[in-house]
Amino acid sequence: MAFFSSQTPIAWKNLVADRRKFFWSLLGITFAVVLMFVQNGFRNSLFDSTVRLVRLLDADLLIVSSGRYNLATEIRFDRQILRRASMLKEVAWSSPLFIDRLASPVRVAGRPSRPIRVISLEPREHIFRDSTIQKSLDLLQRPGQVLLDERSKKEYGFQLEQPEKLNAQAIELANQRIEVAGLMPLGTDFVHDGNIIMSLYDIPDVLPFRNGKNKPTELVDMGLIRVEHGTDIQRVKELLQQLAPGQIDVYTPEEIAQRDIRFWGRNTPIGIIFTIGTVMGLVVGTIICYQILFNDISDHLPEFATLKAMGYSNQYFVILVLCQAMYLACIGFVPGLVITEGLFQLLTYSTGLIMELSLSRVLSVFGLTLLMCVFSGLLAVRRLWQADPASLF
């Protein structure tokens, strides 16, 4: 067909005949692409940031309380269960993880106190897959020393960009003076504005009432399990579950991550809003693309009528308009991707949230862009189907 010919690419020439109009058309498609990327990016950021901690843990299985319906809730289980788990011959290693937020406000001198997530652990153990965070644990040498998340929100007042001033700041955690031994890159989420990692041996001094009148370290938020090499993980999972039926749940890190993603995506207004935002971006883009193609068809209707009078079929015009739609989708997508990358870097820096452009996410938005433009083309081409060549001259 003529519009596929290298000598007379009709679809392309129709688009670029008016350069100024072509520029504004691409701008409209680019806007729609950026809108979908940003809405999708915020939605993915909600999920990625929320489950980042569990995905960083170097464990085969995680034990949590059965009442802990998502990672942000502070519902714990008895540490004795974890001790019993460590005695199984299939378990090579176990370690407790303590997570506090509501009872662990942080205050910088001259600033109001704000809740912050405190992750307490055994600093001599290999806890994290991320080598930067794991190496930072070596800095926890003395009581009262902590690691501070370098992505914590500015509202806390930490001098994160000036280490010498940060070390000189008077910082209190739950009314106890602490010393920042170093920084680590964990990242915030929609619940936690910042993070602190400290040794579990500091819990009795800093958070003495986290278990009422009982020993504060006897309630565990998460138990990390590493199984013996060559052991079936699913079998170990069943054995662990039988240690305290109805009291604990056992997951792989990815299973608990997917559970939280489902919770935030289906049961919270935030997840639903960002999903609707992505759909609205698709709708807006469809309307924009439809107007572009419809106007182009209207402007060239006499020429199309001539071709129709010469015997060109409706199928020819469908393919012609779809070709133009594909050109708009592919060319408009590129600047949209570049702008989005810059926006994501800016948002990551300013908010501390994880805004990532993985290949799968880029391809998904590209697929939506193609769908948007193709659907718009099919709507716009009806104008040609209904046109009577005799009435257009």
Q: How far apart are CA 228 and CA 205, in angstroms?
A: 35
Identity at 3, one-letter amino acid code: F
Closest alpha carbon to 167 in 187, 151, 183: 183
Residue 210 and residue 100 in contact, taking contact as beta carbons nearer than 8 Å? yes
Q: What CA–CA distance (Å, rounded) separates 209 from 213?
A: 7
Whole-number Å distance between alpha carbons of 352 and 347: 7
Distances in Å between the alpha carbon of 186 and those of 45, 50, 74, 390? Answer: 14, 11, 20, 69
Per-residue pLDDT tens digits of the chain, which is 393 residues long: 444 444 447 778 777 777 888 888 889 889 989 988 988 888 888 888 889 999 999 999 999 999 999 898 899 999 999 999 999 999 999 999 999 998 889 999 889 999 999 999 999 999 999 999 999 999 998 999 999 999 898 899 999 888 888 888 899 999 999 999 999 999 888 888 999 999 999 999 999 989 888 899 999 999 999 999 989 999 999 999 999 999 999 999 999 999 999 888 888 787 788 778 888 888 888 888 888 888 877 777 777 777 777 777 778 878 888 888 899 899 999 999 999 999 998 888 877 777 888 899 899 999 999 999 888 888 888 766 665 555 554
The DSSP line for 1-54 is -GGG-SS--HHHHHHHSSHHHHHHHHHHHHHHHHHHHHHHHHHHHHHHHHHHHH
pTM (predicted TM-score): 0.80
Length of the chain: 393
At 38, list the tokens: 């940003």
CA atoms of 366 and 362, how far apart (whole Å): 6
- Integer angstrom CA distances of residue 176 from 106, 132, 223, 319: 9, 27, 27, 71
Q: Are 187 and 129 in contact (CB under 8 A)?
A: no
> Residue 56: enclosing H or E segment and its boundaries?
helix 19-56
Q: In angstroms, rounded to a whole number, what is the distance separating the alpha carbons of residues 111 and 77?
A: 35
* Helix (H/G/I), strand (E/B), else coil: 148: strand
